[in-house]
Structure 1
Amino acid sequence: MERPPIFHFNEQRADLQRAVVDRVIAEARDPVFLLNDAAYHEIRRLEPAGKTDEALEWRKLARMLGGLDRARATEILRDKAMWYAKDVNGNFDRRVYAFASRVLPAGMSVFLRPNVVAERHPLEILRGDAMAERIVTSGAIAHIRKLAELGTVVYVPTHLSNLDSPVFAYALQAAGLPPVTYGAGVNLFTNPVLSFFMRNLGAYRVDRRLRFELYKQVLKTYSSILIERGFHSLFFPGGTRSRSGGVERKLKLGLAGTGLEAFVRTSAQGRPRKVFFVPATINYMLTLEAETLIDDWLQEQGRARYIIEDDESTRLDRMTVLARKLVQMDESCAVRFGTPLDPFGNEVDEHGVSHDHRGRPIDPLSYVVRDGKPALDHARDAQYTRELGEVVMQHYLRDTIAMPTHVVATAAFALLRRRMPSADLFSLVRRRDEIVLPWQDMHDEIERTQRRVAELERREDIVLSSAVRGATATELLNDAERALNGYHSHAILRSREQGVALLDPKVLLYYQNRLAAHGVAWEGGIAR
């Protein structure tokens, strides 16, 4: 079998950069407008941050724009576009990939759980089996493997944590799927461990502080050309991590839309390349940044900050504590790959053939033909991408994996609301170490929640983890308590003689929110 396209990435790196700039310049209707827009936004960003020298350079440029002819403006625009293309451009080091895929899982298992050496055969350790038991993969894996040979695969998973990118990369490797390119926020590069691997395993830099049109065009063009050239890709269409802990119900599809653009462009050029979208869910027993994220969501009353600069994912000590906790729990993280889709939301079979909602074969090219030829139409294609997003969100719900922490948090929060029926959300989450739920009430509510998610699974509207399916209420409570209380900065709930004490309803809210979109947990007005 041929090596995945990304193994040849560095051979195309310089040419890819030039191709991005050439296309941006060729499609720039008004170079002066693009430069003026960039100057305006950069001055507004840089001056409050105290970066006066950089802001001054942009001010100088802004003052001279009125006297430039188109040729000179285009020359300056090309220089700026090249600078941003260099900043965005990724890298793939085969040696780092070999290290990460063969050595790192075993090394992490030994480092994070030293007694694994005594418990396991040396060959099991070298294969990284201890870590494989903690990150479980499921879903349409064989199906996707075949499609990866027929076209370009674009993964669009849910987004809970800054660990999602390395976790998903590990899941791809464990499932025997080819590695991908993906955009990573520049804030992630402040973590030395994540930064090393991202810089060498296909990640390209996305600076969400840069909101001007030129940067957006460079970023989108870069993504489109990657897909056109057959590089499998990964986007988090939620845009940022889910602050509430809930399954995404609003998607930002800008970069994901480049998959459709790539399909249209290759078809128009007479070298059609199929593009397959794969929804996926990343599910954790524990989330690294749960406390920071739910704090942020509550403080902003649902209006999430665009970037959280400093949270648990930038602190190596918190990552180490979480990793130690996760390797003590079977199936502590589960990645589920959904049914592949074409760029228009139609399901695709193992031969790459699209089928409409009635199961009839359909030609995706028919969606983008104008005057008998495939052609880009930004308004039309934006609507197609929105429709794809609706289908992706439906797949998120059915492929969510319910963990013990989700079930127990849902039960506990339901009892808390029953105890305080007139309290609003903020009154509920402020109650700490004041509410003790009787054992029988907690036991009954966990069973009730478990029955509801089991019924949803029978209807194929959710998936239960093995730790939830068939477990007793006592086992679920013990699993959740053991998980929650060993990682977070303080205990979240604790068994006492008279019942279960709710020590931090705020964190319980975060974990129960994972089941809110399914109608099992309290919604509380959340959308993310």
Structure 2
Amino acid sequence: MAFFLSRLTPRRALLAPFHALLGRLFVAWGDVRLVEPDPESLGLDARLPVLYVLPRPALSDALLLASLARRHGLPSASGHRRVGALRLSACLALPTLRRRLWRRVSPPQAPFFDLLTQRQAHPEHEVQLVPVSVFWGRAPGKRFGFWNMLAADSWQLTGRLRRALSVMVNARNVEVHFGAPLRLGEVLGDRDPAITNRKTARLLRVHFRRVRTRVLGPDLSHRRTLIEGVATSPEVRRVIDELAVSERVSPARLQARARRYGREIASNMLYPVLRFMDGLLRRLWNRLYDGVEVRGLDDLKPLAEDHTLVYVPCHRSHIDYLLLSYVLYHEGLMPPHIAAGRNLDMPLVGPLLRRCGAFFMRRSFRDNPLYAAVFNEYLHRLLSRGHPLEYFIEGGRSRSGRLLPARPGMLAMSLRSYLRSAKGNGPQRLAFVPVYIGYERIIENASYQRELRGGRKRKETPLSLLRVIGQLRQPFGRVAVNIGAPLILSDYLDREAGDWRNNIGDSRPAWLTPLIPQLGEELSRRINAAAALNPVNLVALVLLATPHHALEASLLERQLALLVTLQRRCPGGDHASLPGGEPTAWIKKVETLGMIERRSHPLGDMLLAAPSQAGLLAWYRNNVLHLFALAGLTAFAFRHRSRHTLSELEAMLAPSWPILARELVIAPPASLRAALAEMLDLLVEQGLLCCDGGSWWRPDTPVEAGEHLRLLGQLMQPTLERGYLLIALLLEAGSGRLAREELANLSCQLAERLAVLSGLDAPEFFDTRVFVSLVESLEVQGWLWQVNGKLVFDERLPAAARLSAELFDPALRHRMQLITRRCDSESVGR
């Protein structure tokens, strides 16, 4: 049947009964996997006739479209339409040029001339043209030998035999993409119908090309050809010539080394492997998770048609690699090429990942200029040709659950490639796409806790997969994939580096080095702004705010509802998402996942986390703690002082807020005073505070309101304590006494001591990297600066510390001061 479908075209199918029989057989054989957008959202005018337009003549596409239109209640795509005096096929196709060896063939004309002529003479005969793209499977545009004949749509024009085999092989893996309806009157105006005929065909071809780029990605060259082009590129040859002189090695030997590096790095995306992984991962997700929720992808799809996309997801689990590619593939977007660490290029796993689009990089290649040149050239060729890319700007997986500071390496290479590719052709259209991936439970739970407590990171091996397979029977909840606000690189450079267009072609302008950390911070903030609240991290936020990690079930439910209300009314992230359902169901879900325990009691059930469970919950709490930074800080201010005016509150929190915002990677509001006023009004509305117009105070009754306010303020206490410890240690030592690393290490030791004395079993509380980031934040805000390698401050820091100290319990301040003095005296003694 498929052979006849490929041989016939609508013009040659003269027998309607035979046509109908083929259609019924085709409907029974085929299956549409994805229809986009929803046909009901096309906005067709029921009063006007509809003609469907295909990018090329193909009876298989026409029959599929006819059955799809009947199924979704769209205007019929079979038979003919009467439009005024014209009788036209309901499904048109743009003509394709058929070459003949014995004569030249003039380009065929688009089929809209008669319609346009009639529309110009009779404006009432308007027509809606609906472009339709049909993809029989999806290939990334490479040659795969025999599979190239069998498998899927690609950028190559297909012959009739290959088209027939494609219909047979991919009949149950079909995607249909509808375009926005186009009215002839919108393009005709007062123009000549012959000119408008060509313009209409050109507009439709541009649309079809953009959809094809979005779905298939740009056309790929053969991997061997790509590696050869990288190894012989001018940039790599220049490095080879320099090394040949400095290291006294023959250029031919260095050229062979460059090719070896290219083979070590380059991906080898294969369509059969993508199809295999699609089926495998679908079964894995069904076994592992209760579902994968995707948000924000619809807004991204139009951008994918004319921009090179660089996905920058947060990195919480090894599952991230597979999950994002799977989601993009299923949503009709081309899976990206993924930058993966060389540690994953191990037997069995490495070749599979490479064929799914992964390219491998060494952790550091600063001392290997030839490897750096090959990697930079490979990355440049991917970006300049429009291939979607994915890399993790954090550099590695987060063991604490926090978003790690952005590493500059890949961002710097991407920006240099952007400036280089813009030379001569104008700026390339490139967009960074922040992605937040949130888990209710991750596979690496145990290993993260072991490493946070000082355990050595285990090397990934194929045998480690066997341990993962043993966990497949355990529940892991749901996964959220949230797309943040894309960052259009040209627009960002216009704002932050106004004269950047004068440096096009220069891969290392003066403004580039200071801009890269700013870009990393901006992308990190956009990732966090798309965070997903789920039952596990909500319960973790509340339960870990209690001294013994235990709470009455009724109070826990009400506090969960409060957190969701605060996020809904004053969102901590512009693209953050909330869970569905009710607090009772959320608690039940966390119990099912084994993250908390319930104890029955005659006066009411209690929920608690054992020490091992509390350590795990801290990771999930840190995923979303930033969403409640302002709410927690405002509530904490009322913990030891019952009344504040807005001015007093602003003066007390202003020194801490920029540092807190930078540590938690959030965008500070334009006005802290306005944000505080809005938050205070919301807390009054929820009954947690009282207001008499000029000041706000903590109510004595009901007691429950005070408990809710205390739990909310407790969210920020560990973060604020870390900052107070570091500043107290710095002030005790004095200006110009400690270096940056020395201050961070001493603060870490002090925090660990305080955690033991206070019974706080939380390794992430004294994570050295957090203190290093805190010192950097103080330098960025101008509180500290370095002189001869030592940290120096002026009288502003002690004044700000005195204001911030009012937030803390006097007993706690006294204990921290004692520990600080003892720690400082011991360090001086050494």
Provide the TM-score with structure 2 as the length reference: 0.46
1:502 maps to 609
1:423 maps to none
Change in 2 beyond 3 A, CA 1:229/1:16: farther
2:295 maps to 138
Change in 2 beyond 3 A, CA 1:493/1:30: farther
1:439 maps to 552
Secondary structure of 2:414's counterpart equals helix
Secondary structure of 2:410's counterpart equals coil
1:448 maps to 559
Change in 2 beyond 3 A, CA 1:77/1:333: same
2:303 maps to 147
Q: Is the CA contact 1:152–1:230 (under 8 Å) kept in the aligned structure 2?
A: yes
Q: Is the CA contact 1:260–1:275 (under 8 Å) kept in the aligned structure 2?
A: no
- Which of 470, 476, 479 is equivalent to 2:589? 479
CA–CA distance in structure 1, aligned partners of residues 586 and 259 of structure 2: 55
C-alpha displacement of 1:78: 2.8
Change in 2 beyond 3 A, CA 1:13/1:500: same
- Which of 336, 340, 355 is equivalent to 1:200? 355
Q: Is the CA contact 1:344–1:387 (under 8 Å) kept in the aligned structure 2?
A: no
CA–CA distance in structure 1, aligned partners of residues 488 and 341 of structure 2: 27
CA–CA distance in structure 2, aligned partners of residues 20 and 150 of structure 1: 29
C-alpha displacement of 1:96: 1.5
CA–CA distance in structure 2, aligned partners of residues 7 and 374 of structure 1: 23
CA–CA distance in structure 2, aligned partners of residues 265 and 145 of structure 1: 26
* Residue 383 of structure 2 corresponds to residue 270 of structure 1: no
Where does structure 2 lack aligned partners over 5 or more consecutive residues?
1-210, 633-714, 720-764, 771-830
C-alpha displacement of 1:511: 1.7
CA–CA distance in structure 1, aligned partners of residues 615 and 463 of structure 2: 20
- Which of 92, 97, 103 is equivalent to 2:269? 92
CA–CA distance in structure 2, aligned partners of residues 217 and 251 of structure 1: 22
Secondary structure of 1:268's counterpart equals coil
Q: Is the CA contact 1:31–1:77 (under 8 Å) kept in the aligned structure 2?
A: no
CA–CA distance in structure 1, aligned partners of residues 342 and 396 of structure 2: 13
2:620 maps to 511
Question: Which 10-residue stretch deviates more, 160-169 or 285-294?
Answer: 285-294
* Residue 156 of structure 2 corresponds to residue 156 of structure 1: no
Equivalent residues in 2 for 1:85-484 (5 A)?
A: 85-101=262-278, 103-108=279-284, 112=287, 134-139=291-296, 141-190=297-346, 192=348, 194-195=349-350, 197-208=352-363, 212-214=367-369, 215-248=371-404, 250-270=405-425, 272-299=427-454, 308-310=458-460, 314-319=464-469, 321-322=471-472, 325-326=475-476, 329=477, 332-343=478-489, 346=492, 366-370=499-503, 374-415=505-546, 418-419=547-548, 437-440=550-553, 443-445=554-556, 447-462=558-573, 468-472=579-583, 474-483=584-593
C-alpha displacement of 1:459: 3.2
2:177 maps to none
CA–CA distance in structure 1, aligned partners of residues 231 and 562 of structure 2: 53
C-alpha displacement of 1:169: 0.5
CA–CA distance in structure 1, aligned partners of residues 562 and 462 of structure 2: 34
Q: Is the CA contact 2:394–2:406 (under 8 Å) kept in the aligned structure 1?
A: yes
Q: Is the CA contact 2:597–2:609 (under 8 Å) kept in the aligned structure 1?
A: yes
Structure exhibiting the larger radius of gyration computed from Cα positions = 2
What percent identity do the matched residue pairs reach?
20
Q: Is the CA contact 1:344–1:385 (under 8 Å) kept in the aligned structure 2?
A: no
* Aligned partner letter, 1:137: V
Q: Is the CA contact 1:406–1:515 (under 8 Å) kept in the aligned structure 2?
A: yes
Change in 2 beyond 3 A, CA 1:366/1:11: farther
CA–CA distance in structure 2, aligned partners of residues 457 and 30 of structure 1: 60
Where does structure 1 lack aligned partners over 5 or more consecutive residues?
36-64, 114-130, 347-353, 358-363, 420-434, 486-491
CA–CA distance in structure 1, aligned partners of residues 255 and 356 of structure 2: 28
Q: What is the number of equivalent residue pairs in this alignment? A: 418
Across the aligned residues of Structure 1 and Structure 2, the Cα RMSD in angstroms comes to 3.4
1:19 maps to 230
Q: Any idea what the Cα deviations from partners look like across 1:33-59, whole Å, max 9, x if unmatched?
A: 998xxxxxxxxxxxxxxxxxxxxxxxx
C-alpha displacement of 1:197: 3.7
Q: Any idea what the Cα deviations from partners look like across 1:221-272, whole Å, max 9, x if unmatched?
A: 3212210111110010000001101233x01131133322222112114364
Q: Is the CA contact 1:289–1:312 (under 8 Å) kept in the aligned structure 2?
A: no
C-alpha displacement of 1:199: 2.2
Secondary structure of 2:222's counterpart equals helix
CA–CA distance in structure 1, aligned partners of residues 558 and 494 of structure 2: 40
CA–CA distance in structure 1, aligned partners of residues 294 and 307 of structure 2: 22
Provide the TM-score with structure 1 as the length reference: 0.70
CA–CA distance in structure 1, aligned partners of residues 596 and 419 of structure 2: 53
